[in-house]
Amino acid sequence: MYVASYLNNHTVVPLNLFPHHMTMEFWVEAHNKLGTIESDHLKNDANCFIKTKPPSDVEVLAEKDFPTSLLIRWKLPIAVEYAKLTYEIRFCAHGSHNWTYVPRTDMSNDITSFRLQNLQPYTVYVIQMRSRPLGLTEWCGYWSDWSVNTTKGTPEDRPKSKPDLWTVTGDSTNGRRVLFICKDPVLANGRILKLTYNLTIEDHKFKNQSWESLPVNRSETDSCSNQREITVIREIQLSYKQSVRLDVIASNSVGKSPVASLIMPPKANAHDPVKELKVWSHGDQLWLDWKPPSRADVSEYVVEWVRGEQLDWQRESGSTTSTAIKGNLEKFVCYNVSVYPIYSRRIGKPASVEAFLEQGAPLEGPNVKLVGKPGRNNAKLTWTVIPLDRRRGFITNYTIFYTSGTETHNITVPGNITSYTLTSLSSNTKYDVCIKASTVRGSANGFNHSFTTLKYATGEIELIVVGVSLGFLFVVVMTMLLCVYKKDMIKKNFWPQIPNPGESTIGNWSPDYPLKAETPKENYLSGISVLDVDVCDEKSLFEEDKASHPLRKDKYLSEEHSSGIGGSSCMSSPRQSVSDNDEGGDMADTTASTVQYSSVVASSGYKGQTPSSQSQQAVFARSESTQPLLDSEENPDMLVPEGSRQLARFPRQPCFTHAAENKDHTNPAEFKQLEMEQLEALDFCPLEEDSEQTIPTDEQSSNWLPTAPSSSYMPQLGGYRPQ
């Protein structure tokens, strides 16, 4: 009986002498204050309760003449006298976790060596062993732990498979650029030292055939690894009508591989691709599925996947329509997966699709910029495509955010476009634009870009200028046409005709130019009567005039002896006449403001005065007035209508002389009355003998006689001078 600690669930029972071939019984009892309990009893042969140590000093030997086998040797963990043991061996290629177990039927009891067969030449293997004792029954006891790893590689052998040829094709200026690449044979069975290839270019005219050797430097580590190295063989330029064939042989230290061939046909003769290619992710692998092309002579398929400049491929049999990529793929990386059908070593057209092993949110957003200049109400945006290594998934859509002030708008567009035109924008407004790229696993925003819309649309200013110019030109043309068609009316309104004083008859009334009596024309004097009055009949004339005009005397008296010509008073203060002005340049101004109405010529003295010799000449006297000239004076050429005036013509005889002669025969009262009558008749009596004067009618006199006339006496002239 052995007592163990209550904290342990296992123990070791030391035995001084092991009871071989004896039956032993084991159980466990648990004790406390309340009682005791026992476990189940184990009763068996003593050897069934033994667990030995693993085999020690395991040794693996490689033999050059046996490249597909390894010899294993070891030592017994316990002497045969105490127990007989059986063994288990497992092995795997270096770096692999897929163990291969040696069948127990192939293993003998109590042996110390074993030969592993059907191994791959030039392959490193990891070997482990364990042991177990034999009891009364075949399976008895416990397996020991596995021995430590023992690593050994098999010897080299001649390559048993072909090199794996492939091409990378691209377009060039002169045709096609073809790059031939090669992977070592799957069963290289050793380190490949060189590649011998034969490149044949064929067209309709000639064939070029040559063999060349390409050394290949492989290290021991590269050769023993499962990763097959890719070797670039040669790059050539082909036209679209040419075809090329490449034959390659791989060689190691033992021998050569079978010949691998690949034919690149003319571009026009390439066969049909596979149909309905689909790629999806499942677990940690990318799976492919496709339908075979219409032709049934497909020998094999090549599955190619490209990541940037990294390329790899694998081959599948012609009967396969679904497979998984066996290469090492990374997450969040975009792969361009293509399937090429091979028709008797001739490459057909590929079918391609992009795929991710696992998608994620983009690491960055697109950079947006403006195309050209913004308009008044629109702006065209374009943005860059996120690089593949930063995309981490398929872009499902883009969301455009544009903000002006506090207002934010957004527009969602598909993920396959990279430009968009914003419309319905406000003029002369600043906008901030940002674009968000989204995948099935998330999104990322790009940088902001700002722009300001125009105040006027493109061409709007030019349109306004052209419109205003055309309108102005239209107004100018219409104004010119109006001026041309209405020039007479415009001239009359803006430049009225001003009478020329130089052409008026008043220009002839100058002291230097005596008045010349014009003979009235017949039609001009048709309405004028001429009366010849004798000097002796002067009194009777005045009396008749007085009788016929009873109110005239009172009128004359009230007007204080008005001259009755031009409305100028005889008693008014004298004004400067034309004859008194020596400056010829002021003549026009004087005549423009004052009007000369009449001239009076005296031929004899007044009231007994003796006129001087100068009085016998024609003396000019005029009246100055602001009243306008008569039509007949302005336009002497105009004919006076018939019957418009009554002209009384008197012979030029001295009137005042007759009154002076009768002065002595009359009493003072009669003389005073006579003198007044003579004064009243002054307007009708010419002072010069040869002069004639036109006497206006009463109606005409009332229109142009002044209302408050005055007169002044001029003794030197023998009468009154109108002022």
Range of the domain at 382: 368-453
Report, as an integer, the average pLDDT of 438-442: 93
Same-domain pairing of 341 and 408 = no
Amino acid making up residue 494: F
Q: Which pLDDT does position 717 carry in this prediction? A: 39
Structure tokens of 486?
Answer: 């209405």
Greatest mean pLDDT among 248-262, 568-582, 639-653 lies in: 248-262
- The mean pLDDT value for 123-132 works out to 92
DSSP 268-309: GGPPP--EEEEEEEETTEEEEEEE--S-S---EEEEEEEETT
Token pair for residue 540?
Answer: 């009777």
* pLDDT score for 88: 92
pLDDT (tens digit, 9 = 90+) per residue, 469-500?
Answer: 999 999 999 988 888 888 888 888 888 777 77
For residue 587, is pLDDT > 50? no
Query: DSSP secondary structure string, 566-634?
Result: TT--BTSPP---TTT---GGGHHHHHHHS---------S-STT----GGGGS--------SSPPPHHHH
Task: Round to whole Å and give the CA distance between 684 and 698.
Answer: 13
Evaluate the CA torsion angle 136, 138, 143, 148 in order and state its sign: positive
For residue 632, pLDDT over 80 is answered with: no
Most confident of 10-14, 156-160, 459-463: 156-160
Question: Are 206 and 286 contained in the same domain?
Answer: no
* 212 and 128 in a common domain: no
Kindly state whether residues 265 and 282 are assigned to the same domain: no
Per-residue pLDDT tens for 76-98? 888 877 778 889 999 999 888 89
Does residue 205 share a domain with residue 238?
A: yes
Question: Comparing 534 with 490, which gets the higher pLDDT?
Answer: 490
Same domain, 18 and 38: yes
pLDDT of 426 over the 60 cut = yes
Of 32-41, 521-530, 613-622, 647-656, highest mean pLDDT: 32-41
pLDDT for the residue 715 = 41
pLDDT of residue 25: 86
Same-domain check for residues 62 and 80: yes
Write out the two tokens for 311.
């390329």
Please check whether residues 253 and 295 belong to one and the same domain: no
598 and 720 in contact (C-beta within 8 Å)?
no
Question: pLDDT band at residue 569, thresholds of 50, 70 and 90?
Answer: very low
Judge whether residue 146 has pLDDT over 70: yes
Q: Which of the pair, 438 or 580, is modelled with greater confidence?
A: 438
**pLDDT band of 514, cuts 50, 70, 90:** low
Tally the domains of the chain.
Answer: 4
* pLDDT(534) > 90: no
* Burial class, 246, CB count within 10 angstroms (exposed 0-12 / middle 13-18 / buried 19+): buried
Greatest mean pLDDT among 91-95, 131-135, 237-241: 91-95
Range 15-18, long-range pairs (CB < 8 A, 24+ positions): 18/46, 18/82
Q: Provide the 8-state DSSP code for 405.
A: T
pLDDT at 500: 74
Q: Is residue 419 part of a domain?
A: yes
Q: Is residue 607 part of a domain?
A: no
Residue 204 has pLDDT above 90, yes or no: no
Q: Which range, of 127-131, 155-159, 226-230, averages the lowest pLDDT?
A: 226-230
| DSSP codes of every residue in 187-200 | T--S---EEEEEEE
Q: What number is the average pLDDT over the span 23-43?
A: 87
Rounded average pLDDT over 418-435: 93
> Angle, nearest 10°, between helix axes 538-548 and 668-680?
70
> In the predicted model, what is the mean pLDDT of residues 515-537?
47
The predicted pLDDT at position 646 comes to 40
What CATH number should be reported for the domain holding residue 190? 2.60.40.10
Residue 58 within a domain: yes
Nearest-angstrom CA–CA distance, 473 and 479: 10
Q: How many percent of the chain have pLDDT more than 90? A: 32
176 domain-assigned: yes
Quick one: pLDDT at residue 562? Answer: 39
Are 145 and 160 spatial neighbours (Cβ–Cβ below 8 Å)?
Answer: no
The verdict on 161 and 145 lying in the same domain is no
Q: Are the CB atoms for 446 and 436 separated by under 8 Å?
A: yes
Which segment, 127-141, 346-360, 451-465, is predicted with the most confidence on average?
A: 346-360
**Span of 37-51, 330-344, 388-402, 559-573 with lowest mean pLDDT:** 559-573
Q: What token pair was written down for 229?
A: 């190295």
pTM: 0.54
Same domain, 339 and 390: no
Chosen domain end from 140, 155, 170: 155
Confidence of residue 219 (pLDDT cuts 50, 70, 90): low
Biggest alpha carbon–alpha carbon distance for the chain: 220
Amino acid at 394: F
Residues 82 and 162 in one domain: no
Q: Quick count: other Cβ atoms within 10 Å of Cβ 630?
A: 15
Let me know how long the chain is.
Answer: 723
The token duo for 224 is 């023993």
Res 116: pLDDT: 93
Residues 576, 579, 583, CA angle at the centre, nearest 5°?
Answer: 85
pLDDT at residue number 442: 93
What is the spatial distance between Cα 406 and Cα 388, in angstroms, rounded to a whole number? 35
Q: Is the residue at 520 inside a domain? A: no
For the cut 70, the answer to whether the pLDDT of residue 572 exceeds it is no
Assess if residue 149 is contained within a domain: yes
Residue 426 located in a structural domain? yes
For residue 413, pLDDT over 80 is answered with: yes
Asked if the structure places residue 580 within a domain, the reply is no
Give the end of a domain, one of 139, 155, 171.
Answer: 155
- Within this chain, do residues 381 and 405 fall inside the same structural domain, yes or no? yes
Q: Please, what is the average pLDDT of the chain?
A: 74
**Residue 74 in contact with residue 129, Cβ under 8 Å?**
yes
Domain end, chosen from 155, 171, 199, is at 155
User: What's phi and psi for 675, nearest 5 deg?
Assistant: -65, -40
CA distance 190 to 122: 5
Residues 6+ apart with CB under 8 A from 533: 541, 650, 651, 653
